[in-house]
Amino acid sequence: MSDRITVEGTVQAGHGVASGSAAYSPYPQGTLEMQRPFFADLGLDLSPYFLGTLNVSIAPWGVQLRDVPFHFPLLRWTHLHPPETFSFWHCTLEFQAKAYAGLVYYPHPETKQTHFQPASILELLLPKVAQISSGDRVLLQLLASEIALVRLEE
């Protein structure tokens, strides 16, 4: 990646809604499975990725969007709540001496109704990463042309 930003992170447990693994969710097949055809119609193919997110805390950092390659405003993907805005940008996760290319999945918080993430959590779409679990330390590479890191208030 040219113009890359490297930031350390820690894997965090997620809500399980994106993957459909949550015990109590109105989306038993997972939100990503439901959203996938809508994203495909708009030009984003999620087939290379596991249909669940790997949540990584980059605290004390958050992100400010710049020129993200995929931005889908007010997408109506379910009848259960109003449309949501989504952005995606490129990332590479490094874990146990292996690199995994993927995307950051960013449902804009101003259009979300539930399952909020702290501003320091990035939700990653990646191929399946073996042996990774909550608490593991990782490195993330992001493109400075797509996002900027911003220090969050404590």
Asked whether 66 and 3 are in contact (CB, 8 A), the reply is no
- Is the bond into 60 cis (omega within 30 degrees of 0)? yes
pTM above 0.85, yes or no: yes
Q: What is residue 78's predicted lDDT score, i.e. its pLDDT?
A: 86
Burial (0-12, 13-18, 19+ Cβ within 10 Å), 84: buried
CA 29 from centre of chain: 18
Per-residue pLDDT of the chain (154 residues; tens, 9 = 90+): 459 999 999 999 865 566 545 556 666 566 888 899 999 999 999 999 999 899 999 999 999 999 999 999 999 998 888 899 999 999 999 999 999 999 999 999 888 766 567 889 999 999 999 999 999 999 999 999 999 999 998 6
Please say whether the dihedral angle defined by the alpha carbons of residues 16, 90, 66 and 77, taken in this order, is positive or negative. Answer: negative
Task: Judge whether 53 and 106 are in contact, CB under 8 Å.
Answer: no
Whose CA is closest to 88, among 130, 16, 139, 143? 143
The CATH classification number of 4-151 equals: 2.40.30.30
CA distance 41 to 36: 9
How many CB atoms neighbour CB 49 within 10 A? 21
